[in-house]
Chains A and B, each alone.
Chain A
Amino acid sequence: MAAVAEERQTTRRNPLLRELGSWSSSLKCGAAITLLIVLAAVFAPWIAPYDPNAQDFEALLMPPGWPHLFGTDSLGRDIFSRVLYGARIDLVIGFFTTYVPMTYGVVLGAYAGYKGGWFDAVLMRIIDVAMAFPFLVLIIVILAILGPGIQNIYISVFILAWTMYARLARAEMLVERTKDYMTAVKVLGFPQRRIILRHGLPNVINSSIVFSASDFVLNILLVSGLSFLGLGVQPPLPEWGAMIAEGRDFIRDAWWMATMPGFAILATGVGLALIGDGLAQRLGERHHTTV
């Protein structure tokens, strides 16, 4: 009795450690990198040695060194501080552009896969057409209609990005629908909403979760890319892509201006992609990086 109780206690005591122990090395590395960047974003005001927008005309285009770790830009602003504050902008935009469309994309896809019929047919045609355009081209067209800026990037991504999740969830639902437990809940007379949301959804969401890690990376690349083209976050906000665009004009004389923010994007992307890699192994999914 005592032994059993003790064993129970040890398993109870370290659920977090046990969970961590079961993670693959790519999941661990990815989580560590991502956590570091999230902490840097959260504590940016305490870590950053300078105000990200403070201009110092005594220290224009200083190369990386001390006291400016990543150097200064053409207005004498400290690039290290700007990169830190940039994490706040890019991570938040990346998060919302990934997980908001995922929420309704998965539900729509699961519903279409379960119900079939005209709803499914119409939804699939809409998705086919949306996917016939290069994603960035459609976003640019919508931004041309609504005008550039971060608010309109949100709107355009929310209009388009759910399609991939709907497709993934629908494909999984088509398989799940025929399984015994689905028949069981149907026979039990559960309402459709409950069948799809409580019983179907947990079983069709894995592929979307795995894809969302890659999608997070793609969305950060997309938003920073749009800012680089001048269609997204506008200067003087310290967004990474906008900073690279500013550095482009000084690439001959001050390579660090464009280079340093790029490393921040690269580190964030690698962290998230490693998480995606680890989740794919863990949840038994094939890796989805395709769009």
Chain B
Amino acid sequence: MQIFRYIVARCLHAVPVLLGVTIVVFLSIHLVPGDPIRIMMHGRIADSEVAKIYHDLGMDRPILLQYVVFLKNALVGDLGMSLIQKAPVAVLVVEKLWPTLMLLAFSTALSILIAVPLSLLAAFRRNTWLDTAIRLGSIFGFAMPSYWIGLLLMLFFGLLLGWLPISGLGDTPLDQLRHLFMPSLTIAFFLAPILLQSLRSAMLDVLTSEHIEVARAKGLSEWRILIKHVLRNAMIPVITVLAVNISWLLSGAVVVEYVFGLPGLGSLLVRSVGYRDYPLIQGLAFVFGVLVVIVNLLADLSYMLIDRRVLRS
């Protein structure tokens, strides 16, 4: 029962944010100074055609009514038509969703694989040269522009050594993983340091807490203490940090997709800004917003699985 109440409460919490997201997305096209359709077509369009497009888009109706229609359509997955590509926005977006999701999953996994062992090392050997080196390394990773490190990886592994493909997305799943490796590594360069920092301080908190003392007193091996007691308790910060940084991660993905020519949501966004395809930009912004809200919701729900104590609060 408690679990059910917790889930419902978390879901209800997401509703006003989602509504806000739809309002921002809806209003964005109305904030274009001047006439968005004329700007899109660079003025080479007759008045009657402009009026027809506005009518087709429903933009000649009262604004509140427009919003209600927009909301209703969004609920059933209708995000309008792309003016340039002459196709439903939802179809275009869903096509590009998969590469972006794969990139996110792969780069998150890679970042965890880098950050967890290093943060353990840093916490166990705190205030030694090793700790300092790891901290310094993470500062360097944080300060590197992702598009720059992407270009350098491309130059080294792709062009010089010829080990990995430098752009696009392959056909077979294995080939896709090969194509995604360098973009994911690029994202890991800035995501792993952020994880590392929070993980190190979380592990330090756990290492100095009483239940670790008790575990030591019981004579458990250091290895067992590490796996069963430290890592489990450090899981919550990992999830929190990942959830808090999902919007940061998505921002990075936009740039990285563009650099590596991955056919994902980010490169589609950059391209549609060039064409000023407003319905498509609106649809993409909406999907990005929904992704962030969903990830935060999933993070809230996963706390429940790791630590039942959140149910009581």
Where the two chains meet, the residues of A that have a C-beta atom closer than 8 Å to any C-beta of B are: 125-126, 128-129, 131-138, 140-141, 143-146, 148, 214, 217, 221, 224-225, 228-231, 241, 244, 247-248, 251-252, 255, 258-259, 262, 265-266, 268-270, 272-274, 277, 286-287, 289-291
Is B139 a contact of A277 with CB atoms below 8 Å?
yes
Nearest 4 A-B pairs (CB), nearest first? A269-B143, A129-B20, A136-B251, A262-B148
Interchain CB contact (< 8 A) of B17 among A132, A258, A290: A132
Q: How far, in Å, is A282 (CB) from chain B's closest CB?
A: 16
Is B16 a contact of A125 with CB atoms below 8 Å?
yes
A252 to B274, CA, bound (A): 26
Which residue from chain A places its CB closest to the CB of B19 in the assembled complex? A129
Which residue from chain B places its CB closest to the CB of A214 in the assembled complex? B142
Is A244 a contact of B159 with CB atoms below 8 Å?
no
- Chain A residues with CB under 8 A of B270: 140, 229
Interchain CB contact (< 8 A) of B251 among A135, A286, A289: A135
Is B139 a contact of A265 with CB atoms below 8 Å?
no
A145 to B35, CA, bound (A): 11
Interface bits B115-144 vs A (CB < 8 Å: 1, else 0): 000000000000000000001000110111
Is B147 a contact of A225 with CB atoms below 8 Å?
yes
Which residue from chain B places its CB closest to the CB of A272 in the assembled complex? B143
- Chain A residues with CB under 8 A of B273: 140, 143-144, 148, 231
- Stretch of B41-49, B57-65, B87-95, B150-158 lying at the A interface: B150-158
- Chain A residues with CB under 8 A of B23: 129
Is A134 a contact of B194 with CB atoms below 8 Å?
no
B187 contacts the other chain (CB 8 A): no
- Stretch of B169-177, B209-217, B228-236, B240-248 lying at the A interface: B240-248
B292 contacts the other chain (CB 8 A): yes
A289 to B149, CA, bound (A): 19
Is B147 a contact of A134 with CB atoms below 8 Å?
no
Which residue from chain B places its CB closest to the CB of A136 in the assembled complex? B251
- Chain B residues with CB under 8 A of A274: 139
Is A134 a contact of B288 with CB atoms below 8 Å?
yes
Which residue from chain A places its CB closest to the CB of B160 in the assembled complex? A255
Is B145 a contact of A241 with CB atoms below 8 Å?
yes
Interchain CB contact (< 8 A) of A290 among B28, B159, B244, B285: B244
- Chain B residues with CB under 8 A of A268: 143
Q: How far, in Å, is B270 (CB) from chain A's closest CB?
A: 6
B254 contacts the other chain (CB 8 A): yes
Is A290 a contact of B278 with CB atoms below 8 Å?
no
The A contact surface, by secondary structure, is helix
- Chain B residues with CB under 8 A of A126: 20
Is A134 a contact of B247 with CB atoms below 8 Å?
yes
Is A290 a contact of B194 with CB atoms below 8 Å?
yes
Interchain CB contact (< 8 A) of B248 among A231, A244, A290: A290
- Chain B residues with CB under 8 A of A140: 254, 269-270, 273
A138 to B28, CA, bound (A): 10
Is A134 a contact of B155 with CB atoms below 8 Å?
no
Q: How far, in Å, is A150 (CB) from chain B's closest CB?
A: 16
- Chain A residues with CB under 8 A of B278: 144
Interchain CB contact (< 8 A) of B201 among A224, A269, A286: A286
Is B17 a contact of A133 with CB atoms below 8 Å?
no
B33 contacts the other chain (CB 8 A): yes
Q: How far, in Å, is B153 (CB) from chain A's closest CB?
A: 11
- Chain B residues with CB under 8 A of A133: 21, 24, 247, 285, 288-289, 292
- Chain B residues with CB under 8 A of A143: 273
Known A-B contacts A221-B145, A225-B145; the reply to A136 vs B151 at CB < 8 A is: no
- Chain B residues with CB under 8 A of A228: 145, 147, 255
Pick 22 A–B contacts, CB within 8 A, sort by A: A128-B20, A129-B23, A132-B18, A134-B292, A135-B251, A136-B255, A137-B251, A144-B272, A145-B33, A221-B146, A225-B145, A230-B274, A241-B145, A247-B151, A265-B145, A266-B143, A266-B148, A270-B139, A273-B142, A286-B201, A289-B193, A291-B248
- Chain B residues with CB under 8 A of A132: 17-18, 20-21, 247, 289, 292-293
- Chain A residues with CB under 8 A of B32: 145
Interchain CB contact (< 8 A) of B140 among A259, A270, A289: A270
Q: How far, in Å, is B48 (CB) from chain A's closest CB?
A: 26
Q: How far, in Å, is A158 (CB) from chain B's closest CB?
A: 15
Which of A132, A228, A247 is most buried by chain B, counting CB atoms within 10 A of its CB? A132
Which residue from chain A places its CB closest to the CB of B251 in the assembled complex? A136
Which residue from chain A places its CB closest to the CB of B240 in the assembled complex? A290
- Chain A residues with CB under 8 A of B66: none
- Chain B residues with CB under 8 A of A247: 151
B26 contacts the other chain (CB 8 A): no
